[in-house]
Amino acid sequence: MTKSVEYFFSIGSPWSFIGFDAFAELAAKNDVVITPYLTTVVEENGGIFSRNRPEIRRAYWTRDLKRWARVRGKELRLEHRPDLSDPTPASLFVIAAYLDGQDWIGVARALQHAFWSEARDIGKPDVREAIVTSVGFDGAALLKRQADDDVQNKWSADRVHARDSGVFGFPTYVYDGEIYWGQDNLPFLERHLHGDKP
Q: Averaged over 88-116, what is the pLDDT?
A: 97
Interacting residues of 160 by C-beta distance below 8 A, sequence separation 6+: none
Is residue 82 within 8 A of residue 119, CB to CB? The reply is yes
Each residue's pLDDT tens digit, 110-162: 999 999 999 999 999 999 999 999 999 999 999 999 999 999 999 999 999 99
d(CA 79, CA 58): 13
* Per-residue pLDDT at 62 exceeds 80: yes
* Per-residue pLDDT at 194 exceeds 90: yes
* Per-residue pLDDT at 2 exceeds 80: yes
Catalytic (active-site) positions: 13
d(CA 140, CA 162): 29
pLDDT band at 49 (very low <50, low <70, confident <90, very high): confident
At residue 41, the pLDDT reads 84
pLDDT band at 26 (very low <50, low <70, confident <90, very high): very high
Distance, first Cα to last Cα, the chain: 20
Dihedrals φ, ψ of 84, to 5°?
-115, 150
d(CA 21, CA 34): 13
d(CA 151, CA 76): 29
* Per-residue pLDDT at 52 exceeds 80: no
pLDDT band at 51 (very low <50, low <70, confident <90, very high): confident
User: Whole-number mean pLDDT of the chain?
Assistant: 94
Interacting residues of 84 by C-beta distance below 8 A, sequence separation 6+: 115, 119, 120, 121, 122, 123
Please give the model's pTM, rounded to 2 decimal places: 0.94
DSSP state of 48: -
pLDDT band at 45 (very low <50, low <70, confident <90, very high): confident
pLDDT band at 80 (very low <50, low <70, confident <90, very high): confident
At residue 116, the pLDDT reads 96
Query: What domains are there in the chain, each with its CATH number?
Result: 3-194 (3.40.30.10)
- Within 10 angstroms of residue 182's Cβ, the number of other Cβ atoms is 16
Is residue 88 within 8 A of residue 12, CB to CB? The reply is yes
- Write the CA distances from 51 to 7, 37, 41, 54, 117, integer angstroms: 24, 23, 12, 8, 20
Interacting residues of 120 by C-beta distance below 8 A, sequence separation 6+: 84, 114, 127, 131
